[in-house]
Structure 1
Amino acid sequence: MANIKSAKKRILVNETKAARNKAIKSKVKTCVKKVETAIANKDAEAAKAALKVAIVEINKAGSKGVYHKNTCSRKISRLTKAVNGIA
């Protein structure tokens, strides 16, 4: 355990940031899963609606620094390609 005050603060700040990042990643994964479920069910309309929500969430995660911008682009690209494949 840290003895220096600044090190103790860093531990607390890191825990807070980790919890925030975990929540954001979880939300993105849930949105992605909804898109993939709609794709598996061959439901084009539901997939497109879920894709719009997922894109917004992925971009938010990217702007908050949870994901790298290229990771966001890759995720969006793969989901869009999959949705367009069932249309």
Structure 2
Amino acid sequence: MREEKIKQDDLKFYIFGSFGKVEKPNDIDLLFLYESDNVSIKEILSLRRSFVMKFRVVSDIDVDITILSHREEQELDFINTENAKELFL
């Protein structure tokens, strides 16, 4: 499966950290939350590489991407702990 075949329901994006809270953030922190039953780690890593490369072309701010499966997020309660906000892309 290639990254463009990942179904929308199997992948969600969240923003967290200082971006939007301070005037000049050092970076943008994103969470890629994926359904591990339907998306392989290889696919999600490929998507992250592609996203970072494309983002560097349009912005001089660094992007840090955390990748978690739904199960991992539930165990860590990452979204609540980091006050992450879903991005609707």
- TM-score tier, shorter chain, comes to 0.3 to 0.5
Query: Based on CA coordinates, which of the two structures has the bigger radius of gyration?
Result: 1
Compare the two structures and name the one with the higher strand fraction: 2
* TM-score of the pair, normalised by structure 1: 0.34
* TM-score of the pair, normalised by structure 2: 0.34
Compare the two structures and name the one with the higher helix fraction: 1
